[in-house]
Amino acid sequence: MQKKIIKLSIILLIIFIIGVFFIGLNKNSIYDTKNLVGQKITKIKLEHFSDNRIITEEDLRKNNFTLINFWASWCGPCRVEHPILLKLNEEKNLELLGVNFKDKKNNALEFLKDLGDPYDDLARDELGKHSINFGIYGIPESILINKDLVIIKKFIGPISKNDYNYIKNIIRQ
Amino acid sequence: MKTKVIIFFIILNFNVVNAITFSVDSNKILKNLRCLICQGQSVADSNSEFAQTIKIVVRDQINDGKSEKEIYDFLIEKYGEWIVYKPPLNKVNFLLWLLPYLVFITGGVIIFLRFKKRNNR
């Protein structure tokens, strides 16, 4: 009887271990913050780039849709997405809020002078602290939110043409 | 005079203990946070941009009087449970937490029964 119990326990343990490995290895191990989609952004306090004021939730509630784009002049991929941001700026239903991330003010201004300024509003996050509130872990990253400040989509990396079409479809619906 | 000296040393000791506790807490939290853009490094060990920012945020939150749990909750809300090496107990991972204890207790019971059986012989 005792032998049978031990045998059964060993078999169950082996099944359990195989099960854990099966589930663990089939799981996507690439990290992303897609779980933020559907969440509401709160406690927004972003220092305006040039004016002496703070951009808060109230400012974003005025827009039907807002694309919050985190960028820096030292970031190569930010240059790649810049023409798409300029195109997105033509959309009437969408406001673009740029957050200049850990950058020098002069370099940021030069960047915008050279490539064009797509932003309706521009904020500054000198130490990167405020970007943590948006779940940012690298730039460029962009977050599309609606009037209720609910995250519709997060774009990790430069915005592609497909992303552009996706945003256009969402805001024109 | 003697009493004053004792009181002085008690206060000094209290301050030193407080200072140690603060530094240990900050380090403990950073060591339990995963650097999301590095391979197998904690925030404490990494010098990446992300880790530097998290270090500032954690220290700011400690200075604001936030507890260890509040800091973890904030970061888990923003980055998911993946950011902590030691995830909090919940319905998804309760088995992972309970299993070592179950194995320990079962092992103890088996050893106890074997000893008892041997003694009976």
pLDDT, residue A25, reads 82
The Cβ of residue A16 has, within 10 Å, a number of other Cβ atoms equal to 12
Answer yes or no: is pLDDT of B24 > 50.
no
Answer yes or no: is pLDDT of B81 > 60.
yes
The CA distance from A145 to A165, in Å, is 16
A135 touches B: beta carbon within 8 Å: yes
Residues B80-103 have a mean pLDDT of: 83
Residue A29: pLDDT band by 50, 70, 90 thresholds?
low
Using a CB-CB cut-off of 8 Å, the residues of chain A touching B54 are 132
pLDDT, residue B13, reads 62
Task: Give A7's contacts (C-beta < 8 A, 6+ positions apart).
Answer: none
pLDDT, residue B104, reads 92
Using a CB-CB cut-off of 8 Å, the residues of chain B touching A134 are 78
Residues B46-74 have a mean pLDDT of: 92
Q: Which residue has the higher pLDDT, A94 or B19?
A: A94
pLDDT, residue B108, reads 92
- Closest CA of chain B from A40, distance in Å: 11
ipTM rounded to 2 decimals? 0.76
The Cβ of residue A143 has, within 10 Å, a number of other Cβ atoms equal to 24
With CA atoms as reference, the chain A residue closest to B110 would be A6
Q: Do the Cβ atoms of A132 and B82 come within 8 Å?
A: no
**CA A122 to chain centroid:** 16
Distances (CA, A) of B17 to A25, A33, A121, B12, B13: 45, 39, 48, 9, 6
Q: Which residue has the higher pLDDT, A103 or B23?
A: A103
Of A43, A34, A97, A110, the C-alpha closest to A70 is A97
The Cβ of residue A72 has, within 10 Å, a number of other Cβ atoms equal to 21
The Cβ of residue A55 has, within 10 Å, a number of other Cβ atoms equal to 22
Q: Show the DSSP H helices in chain A as ranges.
A: 2-26, 57-61, 76-88, 105-115, 129-132, 161-172
With CA atoms as reference, the chain A residue closest to B106 would be A9
Of A143, A103, A142, the C-alpha closest to A125 is A103
pLDDT, residue A163, reads 95
The kind and range of the H/E element at B16 are helix B2-31
Residues in B lying within 8 Å of A, measured between beta carbons: 36-37, 49-50, 52-54, 56-57, 60, 75, 77-80, 82
pLDDT in tens, A100-121: 999 999 999 999 999 999 999 9
Q: Which residue has the higher pLDDT, A23 or B9?
A: A23
Residues B9-20 have a mean pLDDT of: 58
